[in-house]
């Protein structure tokens, strides 16, 4: 409860950013908030179930592309609603067909999904609509994008708070520990996972949709960049995917670090990213928060 209130207050504070910061500063805030939501939404499903999903960009890109296609035809709130529905239906179909896959197979499938959707859209644009790129002309300034993202972040805070206190939160914890026990205690595994996967995917789709006006020009290669999926995973894992505030603690510093690295070392960025990925998995498999708790426990035991 207190955690949620502090988080909402922090979001309100960030919302004042556009009145003091320049365009670059606002851009940084947009990126940091986007990745915070992506990592939190990712961890909502993947943290407790331990299904490592690389499908983040599949939904993120779908959100962006929905805007590119519909933004001329519909008013903005309806465009966002359409994106949420499309992302939700896509997640439902994908979830129904893949959540029975275990471990590594799910990882590979989720990675393939992003590529599949990218290729499908490319094929459609080239052979049916005849253009590969699309323009997004919307009367939305960066600060509007930021405020919408912050509203979405507030929704995420409320949803995660609700999950932690509700039956589905306990069900997820049990599934994360032992699926056999979960099923024998009366938990419907497939339904629980599906609900969370759809919820998390809708949020990810909305991030893609809300921040798409920043691109102006989109094509599949831009919006379905697999780096988005990898960054999301590494941020959530660094902070701690099973801890409620873990993804935030991973996303903000890593986003700022990546911004700085990609400006300083544009050619070697991928190498550094890969090394960081390996480092996180080896040194902090449960995330920074869990490592800190362990350290504190050790100190207490020693004292």
Residue numbers at the binding site for other proteins (CB under 8 A): 167, 170-171, 173-174, 176-178, 180-189
SS3 category, 287: coil
* Complex with other proteins: residue 54 or 171, whichever CB lies closer: 171
* Complex with other proteins: residue 141 or 177, whichever CB lies closer: 177
* Complex with other proteins: residue 74 or 183, whichever CB lies closer: 183
Minimum CB separation of residue 233 from other proteins in Å reads: 21
Rounded Cα distance between 172 and 10, Å, is 28
The single-letter DSSP state of residue 108 is H
Residues near 217 by beta carbon (within 8 Å), at least 6 away in sequence = 133, 134, 135, 136
Minimum CB separation of residue 49 from other proteins in Å reads: 13
Minimum CB separation of residue 291 from other proteins in Å reads: 16
* Complex with other proteins: residue 172 or 231, whichever CB lies closer: 172
Residues paired with residue 135 on neighbouring β-strands, in sequence order? 217
* Complex with other proteins: residue 55 or 168, whichever CB lies closer: 168
SS3 category, 1: coil
Minimum CB separation of residue 214 from other proteins in Å reads: 40
* Complex with other proteins: residue 121 or 289, whichever CB lies closer: 289
Minimum CB separation of residue 193 from other proteins in Å reads: 13
* Complex with other proteins: residue 132 or 185, whichever CB lies closer: 185
Residues near 140 by beta carbon (within 8 Å), at least 6 away in sequence = 76, 213
Structure tokens at 74: 């519909």
Minimum CB separation of residue 285 from other proteins in Å reads: 14
Q: Which of 23, 55, 35, 85 is nearest to 211 (CA)?
A: 35
The single-letter DSSP state of residue 213 is G
Rounded Cα distance between 162 and 156, Å, is 10
Rounded Cα distance between 139 and 131, Å, is 23
DSSP 215-284: TSEE-HHHHT-THHHHHHHHHHHHH-TTSTTHHHHHHHHHHHHHHHHHHH-TTTHHHHHHHHHHHHHHH-
Minimum CB separation of residue 255 from other proteins in Å reads: 29
* Complex with other proteins: residue 44 or 273, whichever CB lies closer: 44
Minimum CB separation of residue 245 from other proteins in Å reads: 17
Q: Are 48 and 176 in contact (CB under 8 A)?
A: yes
* Complex with other proteins: residue 72 or 177, whichever CB lies closer: 177
Minimum CB separation of residue 283 from other proteins in Å reads: 21
Rounded Cα distance between 114 and 268, Å, is 24
């Amino acid at each position: 409860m207190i955690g949620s209130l502090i988080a909402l207050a922090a979001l309100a504070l960030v919302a004042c950013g556009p009145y003091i910061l320049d365009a670059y500063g606002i851009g940084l805030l947009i990126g940091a908030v986007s990745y915070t939501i992506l990592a939190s939404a990712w961890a909502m499903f993947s943290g407790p179930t331990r299904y490592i999903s690389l499908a983040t960009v599949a939904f993120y890109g779908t959100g962006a592309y929905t805007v590119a296609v519909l933004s001329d035809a519909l008013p903005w709130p309806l465009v966002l609603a359409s994106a949420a529905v499309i992302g939700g239906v896509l997640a439902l179909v994908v979830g129904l067909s893949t959540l029975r896959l275990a471990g590594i197979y799910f990882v590979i499938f989720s990675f393939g999904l992003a590529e599949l959707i990218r290729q499908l859209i490319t094929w459609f644009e080239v052979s049916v609509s005849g253009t590969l790129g699309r323009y997004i002309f919307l009367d939305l300034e960066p600060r509007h994008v930021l405020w919408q993202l912050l509203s979405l972040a507030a929704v995420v805070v409320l949803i995660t708070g609700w999950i932690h206190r509700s039956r589905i939160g306990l069900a997820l914890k049990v599934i994360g520990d032992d699926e056999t026990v979960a099923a024998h205690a009366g938990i419907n595994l497939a339904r629980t996972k599906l609900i969370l996967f759809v919820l998390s995917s809708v949020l990810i789709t909305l991030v893609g949709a809300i921040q798409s006006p920043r691109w102006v020009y989109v094509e599949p290669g831009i919006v379905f960049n697999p780096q988005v999926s990898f960054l999301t995973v590494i941020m959530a894992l660094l902070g701690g995917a099973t801890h409620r505030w873990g993804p935030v603690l991973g996303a903000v510093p890593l986003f700022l670090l990546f911004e700085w690295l990609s400006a300083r070392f544009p050619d070697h960025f991928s190498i550094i990213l890969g090394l960081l990925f390996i480092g996180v998995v080896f040194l902090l498999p449960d995330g920074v928060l869990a490592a800190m708790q362990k350290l504190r426990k050790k100190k207490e035991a020693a004292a």
